[in-house]
């Protein structure tokens, strides 16, 4: 078992346990993503017209759900983990965390944008280089909006996550106050996209972050967000 030590502002060490099972969990999630993509591309009407029922597929899916249901966790839902005791990292708490050595997908494993343990997240990864957060990944057919293009809402969600994670890593994590996205050109499906974000301005609890998304040399979108740190830490009231 690999253990990663985090130090919080109150000097209480926190150990993030990255078990071997996570690898197989991630593989399972990748298969689930592929299944969702297959559903998006399948002509079910043709299958019915060929005299084949959909009941067999639905029954197999029910069996999988029955296998998982006993292990459901009913707890506060966060990007950081499944259980409250795992929520040592709360960027909206106003606390400072030492994230040295951790990639964003490691402290947000259930993110709907970059979470390797979330089946609805597209395969994007973020990494910090010097003062710039870099993004790489792609959107497949399930994120389609205009023909052969990514739905603008998914582009906005990606930019919100990219700018927000930039806040977190630079010590200014909080809530999105405003997000302005300017769509320059259609964002293509199934293309390796590149994004980047950087801090434009910090003033008291407010941070202004800028970012952009590209397909090679083609600028697809640019964004600016205002992020606001909470006045008080969670649990201090």
* Residue 62, token pair as written in the block: 């029910």
Give the pLDDT of residue 174: 85
Long-range contacts formed by 15-21: CB under 8 A, 24+ apart: 16/88, 16/102, 16/106, 16/107, 18/106
Q: Is the pLDDT of residue 147 over 60?
A: yes
The CATH classification number of 2-41+73-228 equals: 3.10.129.10
Consecutive H or E run containing 34: helix 21-41
Distance in angstroms (rounded) separating the CA atoms of residues 189 and 199 = 28
Q: What is the pLDDT of residues 154-191, one digit of tens each?
A: 999 999 999 999 999 988 888 999 999 999 999 999 99
Chain-wide mean pLDDT for the chain? 85
Distance in angstroms (rounded) separating the CA atoms of residues 165 and 171 = 10
Provide mean pLDDT across the span 210-230.
96
Distance in angstroms (rounded) separating the CA atoms of residues 62 and 222 = 42
The answer for residues whose C-beta is within 8 angstroms of residue 178's C-beta and 6 or more apart is: 225, 226
Other Cβ atoms less than 10 A from the Cβ of 37: the count is: 14
Q: What is the pLDDT of residues 77-92, one digit of tens each?
A: 888 888 766 666 666 5
Q: Please tell me the pTM assigned to this model.
A: 0.83
- Spans of all domains in the chain: 2-41+73-228
> Please, are residues 22 and 8 in contact by the beta-carbon 8 Å criterion?
no
Q: What is the pLDDT of residues 1-44, one digit of tens each?
A: 444 334 333 333 333 444 444 458 888 999 999 999 999 999 99
Give the pLDDT of residue 77: 84
Q: Is the pLDDT of residue 74 over 90?
A: no
């Amino acid at each position: 078992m690999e253990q990663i030590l985090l130090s919080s502002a109150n000097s209480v060490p926190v150990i993030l346990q990255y078990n071997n099972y996570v690898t197989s969990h991630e593989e399972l999630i990748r298969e689930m993503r592929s299944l969702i993509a297959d559903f998006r591309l399948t002509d079910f009407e043709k299958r019915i017209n060929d005299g084949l029922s959909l009941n067999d597929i639905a029954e197999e899916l029910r069996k999988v759900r029955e296998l998982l249901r006993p292990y459901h966790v009913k707890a506060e839902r966060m990007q950081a983990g499944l259980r409250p005791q795992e929520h040592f990292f709360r960027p909206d708490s106003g606390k400072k965390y030492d994230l040295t050595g951790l990639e964003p997908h490691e402290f947000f494993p259930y993110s709907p944008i970059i979470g390797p343990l979330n089946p609805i997240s597209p395969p994007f990864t973020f990494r910090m280089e010097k003062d710039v957060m870099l993004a790489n990944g792609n959107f497949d057919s399930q994120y389609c909006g205009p023909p052969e293009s990514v739905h603008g809402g998914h582009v906005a969600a990606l930019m919100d996550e990219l700018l927000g994670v930039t806040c977190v890593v630079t010590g200014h994590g909080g809530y999105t106050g405003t997000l302005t996205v300017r769509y320059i050109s259609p964002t293509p499906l199934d293309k390796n996209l590149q994004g980047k974000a950087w801090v434009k301005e910090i003033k008291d609890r407010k941070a202004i972050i800028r970012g952009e998304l590209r397909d090679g040399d083609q600028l697809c979108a640019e964004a600016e967000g205002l992020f606001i740190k909470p006045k008080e830490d969670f649990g201090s009231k």
